[in-house]
């Protein structure tokens, strides 16, 4: 079999042939680069050896046999991802992608593979078809007892003693938006492998991508919002104020929690949502909002009065124990001095408990939808609503809240017909007036007689008839002047 200074061919026990070529070292990591390829026969292996040697001499070192798990590792290593996006990607890779495709060669993945993955996730988000039907209480050989049972949906991923909350597994489809994220991550990783020449084509480009679906906003009604606020203010002033600010400004959960005293101008009625506070993997992060920059949102006098009173009382309480609340203090904080904000999940769970008590089925996020729908239904223009919500483009607002612009659309639809109808009736009234042999002295009586014939009431007809009469008198005087000129 062929052997060179930088490569050779070896026969495997299976009868196939493996080609290995030394391609130098990585200038960054210092690790050796070795090209490998498995071929069915010696002739094909000899051809592959020549090709790999040529690639090595051209300083091209594609890993033709790279597993997709290796591709995912490199993707996460070299791709610039925001903190929240990285956590999301890592979660989908850990739970869904790596267990299914991690040990598959990247070049063996085809469009049909990705379509099968999409179909499996559409049936069950846990891909239970690939899981054992019995869950064992210990890894490795052991004697099964009552702790080993059928597949369950556990209440937590941490070690625990199962109770009534760990129920028997029931298949739950993965939402179309989540399936789209999974396949988008796979596609991005395969695009990276294509750039590195580990694969020839990206099969995700030919796969069937799921539709993201349309989210139907389900905001609480004004009556439900009022009931929740009354309950929250009665039991927890700070949380009541948090909900009030969420309803009135449309701020995101993280934006409200990232709000500091120095970013509120009570005199100018202005809030500055400069940072978005998140907690990921135990790390507390203040990041810029989705649009990449903060935004100023106008507030109403009542909201500023409520916030100002709350902050003043907090400052007074702390002064009695000799603690000064800095201007950089967070507005909503479990710490009396406002050193740290509330955990975002804490506010979500707290809202859920209050919402259940007043019959609201939607989540804390729907407070933004409440703000948007109320503004759009009141006729506020789309651009202003988009700016308050922090949407980069009005199309985003329109896509999610189009149905709530219907009242404004209905008002717009009535403008032109109303104008045309009035002009049409005015023209009819003019025609009727022009058919009179002479102008009567009592225009009010004339309006009562001709108005209904033109589809108008007497009050609307009277000023128009007076104008027609004035025009006629002016025309008669002009005609008399011209006749006198001609006689002279």
Show the domain range for 95.
Answer: 70-125+172-205
Long-range own/partner contacts, residues 220-228 (CB < 8 A, 24 or more apart): 220/355, 220/360, 220/362, 220/366, 220/370, 222/374, 224/358, 224/359, 224/360, 225/370, 227/358, 227/359, 228/354, 228/355, 228/358, 228/360
Residue 482 has pLDDT above 50, yes or no: no
Residues 266 and 294 in one domain: yes
Question: Is 255 a domain residue?
Answer: yes
Residues 89 and 106 in one domain: yes
Instruction: Determine the pLDDT at residue 477.
Output: 36
- Burial tier of 322 (Cβ tally within 10 Å: 0-12, 13-18, 19+): exposed
Residues 296 and 244 in one domain: yes
**Residue 62, CB-side half-sphere exposure with 13 Å CA sphere:** 20
Domain CATH code at residue 241: 1.10.443.10
Residue 63 has pLDDT above 90, yes or no: no
Residues 229 and 183 in one domain: no
Residue 103 is classified by DSSP as T
Residues 342 and 374 in one domain: yes
Domain CATH code at residue 121: 1.10.150.130
Residues 311 and 439 in one domain: no
Instruction: Determine the pLDDT at residue 64.
Output: 73
Predicted TM-score (pTM) of the model is 0.64
Residues 44 and 118 in one domain: no
Cα–Cα distance for residue pair 400/338, rounded to 1 Å:
35
pLDDT digits (tens, 9 = 90+) for 85-131: 888 899 999 989 998 999 999 999 999 999 999 999 999 888 877 66
Total domains in the fold of the chain: 4
Residue 318 has pLDDT above 90, yes or no: yes
- pLDDT band of residue 381 (cuts 50, 70, 90) is confident
Q: 273, 320, 267: which is closest to 296 by C-alpha?
A: 273
Question: Is 149 a domain residue?
Answer: no
Q: 98, 29, 49: which is closest to 70 by C-alpha?
A: 98
Looking at 392, 408, 435, the residue that finishes a domain is 392
Question: Is 151 a domain residue?
Answer: no
Residues 373 and 236 in one domain: yes
Cα–Cα distance for residue pair 194/62, rounded to 1 Å:
10
pLDDT digits (tens, 9 = 90+) for 180-220: 999 999 999 999 999 988 898 999 999 999 887 666 778 89
Mean pLDDT along residues 402-426: 70
- pLDDT band of residue 240 (cuts 50, 70, 90) is very high
Mean pLDDT along residues 456-474: 86
Buried b (16+ CB within 10 A) or exposed e, 374-410: bbbeeeeebeebbbbbbbeeeeebeebbeebbeebee
Residues 319 and 352 in one domain: yes
Q: What are phi and psi of 230, to 5 degrees?
A: -60, -45
- Three-state DSSP state, 251: coil
Instruction: Determine the pLDDT at residue 131.
Output: 62
Angle between helix 366-377 and 382-389 (nearest 10): 160
Structure token pair of residue 26 = 């990585």
Cα–Cα distance for residue pair 298/387, rounded to 1 Å:
11
């Amino acid at each position: 079999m062929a052997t060179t200074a930088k490569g050779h061919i070896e026969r495997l026990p299976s009868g196939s042939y493996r080609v290995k070529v030394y391609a130098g070292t990585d200038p960054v990591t210092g690790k050796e680069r070795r090209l490998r390829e498995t071929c069915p026969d010696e002739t094909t292996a000899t051809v592959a050896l020549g090709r790999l040697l040529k690639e090595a001499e051209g300083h091209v070192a594609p890993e033709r046999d790279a597993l997709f798990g290796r591709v995912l590792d490199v993707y996460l290593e070299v791709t610039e991802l925001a903190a929240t996006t990285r956590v999301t990607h890592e979660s989908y890779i850990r739970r869904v992608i790596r267990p299914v495709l991690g040990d598959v060669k990247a070049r063996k993945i085809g469009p049909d593979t990705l379509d099968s993955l999409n179909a499996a996730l559409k049936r069950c988000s846990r891909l239970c078809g690939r899981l054992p039907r019995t869950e064992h209480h210990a890894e490795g050989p052991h004697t099964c007892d009552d702790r080993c049972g059928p597949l369950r949906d556990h209440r937590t991923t941490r070690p625990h003693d199962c109770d009534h909350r760990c129920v028997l597994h029931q298949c739950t489809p993965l939402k179309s938006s989540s399936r789209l994220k999974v396949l988008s991550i796979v596609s991005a990783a395969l695009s990276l492998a294509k750039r590195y020449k580990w694969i020839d084509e990206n099969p995700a480009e030919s796969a069937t991508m799921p539709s993201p679906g349309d989210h139907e906003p389900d905001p609480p009604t004004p009556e439900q919002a009022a009931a929740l606020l009354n309950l929250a203010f009665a039991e927890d002033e700070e949380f009541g104020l948090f909900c009030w600010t969420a309803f009135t400004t449309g701020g995101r959960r993280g934006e409200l929690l990232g709000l500091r005293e120095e970013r509120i101008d009570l005199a100018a009625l202005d809030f500055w949502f400069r940072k978005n506070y998140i907690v990921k993997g135990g790390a507390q992060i203040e990041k810029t909002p989705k649009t990449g920059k903060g935004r100023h949102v106008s507030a109403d006098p009542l909201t500023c009065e409520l916030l100002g009173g709350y902050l003043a009382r907090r400052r007074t309480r702390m002064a009695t124990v000799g603690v000064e609340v800095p201007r950089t203090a967070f507005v909503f904080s479990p710490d009396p001095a406002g050193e740290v904000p509330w955990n975002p999940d804490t506010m979500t769970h707290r809202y859920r408990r209050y919402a259940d008590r007043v019959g609201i089925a939607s989540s804390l996020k729907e407070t933004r939808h409440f703000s948007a729908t109320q503004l759009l239904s009141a006729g506020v223009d789309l651009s202003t609503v988009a700016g308050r919500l922090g949407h980069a483009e009005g199309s985003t607002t329109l896509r999610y809240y189009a149905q709530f612009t219907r009242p404004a659309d209905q008002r717009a639809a009535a403008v032109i017909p109303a104008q045309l109808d009035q002009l049409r009736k005015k023209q009819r009234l003019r025609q009727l007036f022009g058919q009179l042999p002479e102008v009567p002295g009592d225009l009010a009586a004339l309006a009562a007689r001709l108005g209904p014939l033109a589809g108008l009431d007497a009050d609307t007809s009277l000023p128009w008839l007076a104008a027609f009469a004035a025009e006629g008198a002016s025309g008669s005087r002009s005609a008399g002047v011209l006749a006198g000129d001609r006689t002279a």
